[in-house]
Amino acid sequence: MTPSNLSTKGGVRAAVRDVPAYPFTPVDVPVKLDQNENPYDFPAELKAEALRRMAAKDWNRYPDLHADTLRDAIARYEGWDTQGVVVTPGSNVLIKLLTELAGIDQTVLVTDPTFGVYTLEAALLGAKLVRVSLNPDFSLPVAGLLGAIEREEAGVLYIAQPHAPTGHIDARADVEKVVAAAEARGWVTVLDEAYHQYSGSDYRDLVRAGSNTLSLRTFSKAWGLAGVRVGYVLAGPELAQNIQKLVSAFNVNLLTQAALEVALEQPEYVQERVQEGLRERERVLAALQGHPTCEAMPSQANFFLLRTPDASAAYKHLLERGIVVRRQDKLHLLQGCLRVAIGTPAENDALIAALNDLP
Ligand code: PMP
């Protein structure tokens, strides 16, 4: 008997056939607040230096097998052992590999709502997906997660801090409780820290203390390098070496490696931008306080949720003003919600003005 998630038709597994394509349609408008990107490009002088180094490389040669020079540079930046760093083109790739790590029979445990790629990869693999509802205030459902960790076949547990798409940050003690239980039962816990620079949270110490817990990080947000595509794992050396086996050889191209070397040599710009992002986040949230119909929710990330009376109408209204945001209103607990990234001051002004005109 073939399990239903392994049955194939035309050489394609049912699990893959049944999954809808990644739900994102690019919209070309002046104010792009739909992908939680950094509103600023990589600094011009660093870009020029990266381009110079790219030109000096031999493009006919393969890059480092496992991006070893880049892994060294990340390890130095993070105060980590190079053996515990795994690099791929974006952290989405790592989510695929981490989901595959425990195999098809495992459980993928997430909160609901959660970052869509965790559930997408679980569905593509045909793994058992277990969702535990966030608490109504978006905090981590500690008791529910502890129950699932105990009850289910161990697999991979995803916890984003700050959480996506709510921007909520949890009490450290709650995260520690869940991670300790998961460690004890042999789950791999992924602490997704894609936005940690905006919350000031940092779970490297928890990763260090455990053996099955890792931090997932990216250059796509605070570093402003989403287009360059680099994400990485910080883990213990044994776990990292097993994850590394799943990474295709020569996965990170030499142009990307050159750009990242430059960024990691001069990372000072990141902190300045994060500070501006935080100031702007508080300014936008304050400006939307007391809005007659919308509720802007507090966030510890570079985006926030906006609860509207009618998400479809609000989305269209913003689009007519040249502003694109992300609808989240079909997600559990997020009725009427749009997800809005923090942009430049001018972009944020445009957003506030458009929302103040919402019929
Ligand atoms: N994790 C979270 C929580 C995210 O929001 C994102 C980006 N939307 C990612 C991971 C993936 O980022 P990237 O693939 O660009 O590294």
CA–chain centroid gap for 273, Å, is: 19
From CA 176, how far away is CA 173, in angstroms rounded? 5
Query: Which sign, positive or negative, has the C-alpha torsion 179, 184, 187, 188?
Result: positive
Q: Using a 6 Å cutoff on CB, does residue 251 contact ligand 1?
A: no
Residue nearest to atom 1 of ligand 1 (CA): 194
Instruction: Give the residue carrying structure tokens 């935080």.
Output: 278
Of all atoms in ligand 1, which is nearest to the CA of residue 219? 16
Residue nearest to atom 2 of ligand 1 (CA): 194
Across 12-21, 128-137, 326-335, least confident range: 12-21
Average pLDDT score over residue span 1-17: 75
pLDDT at 147 > cutoff 80: yes
pLDDT at 1 > cutoff 50: no
* Pairing relationship of beta strands 85-88 and 107-112 according to DSSP bridges: unpaired
Strand partners, 158: 190
The per-residue pLDDT for 23 is 74
Asked if the domains at 11-40+269-356 and 60-265 fall in one CATH topology, the answer is no
Beta carbons of 203 and 215 less than 8 angstroms apart = yes
Average pLDDT score over residue span 148-152: 97
Q: Which of 37, 92, 169, 300 maximizes ligand 1 atoms within 8 Å of its Cβ, making it the mutation to test the pocket?
A: 92
SS3 content of the chain, % helix, strand, coil (to 5): 45, 15, 40
Where are the domains positioned within the chain? Answer: 11-40+269-356, 60-265
Q: For domain 60-265, which CATH number applies: 3.40.640.10, 3.40.190.10, 3.40.50.300, 1.10.10.10?
A: 3.40.640.10
Of all atoms in ligand 1, which is nearest to the CA of residue 221? 15
The fold adopted by the segment(s) 11-40+269-356 is Aspartate Aminotransferase, domain 1 (3.90.1150)
The encoded tokens of residue 199 equal: 């919350």
Beta carbons of 175 and 305 less than 8 angstroms apart = no
pLDDT tens figures, 182-223: 999 999 999 999 999 999 999 999 999 999 999 999 999 999
pLDDT over 70 percentage in the chain = 98
The rounded Å distance from CA 194 to ligand 1 centre is 6
From CA 149, how far away is CA 181, in angstroms rounded? 7
Beta carbons of 115 and 192 less than 8 angstroms apart = yes
CA distances from 77 to 25, 26, 70, 80 (A): 35, 33, 11, 8
From CA 239, how far away is CA 94, in angstroms rounded? 13
The pTM of the whole model exceeds 0.90: yes
Average pLDDT score over residue span 245-269: 97
Beta carbons of 166 and 157 less than 8 angstroms apart = no
The per-residue pLDDT for 104 is 86
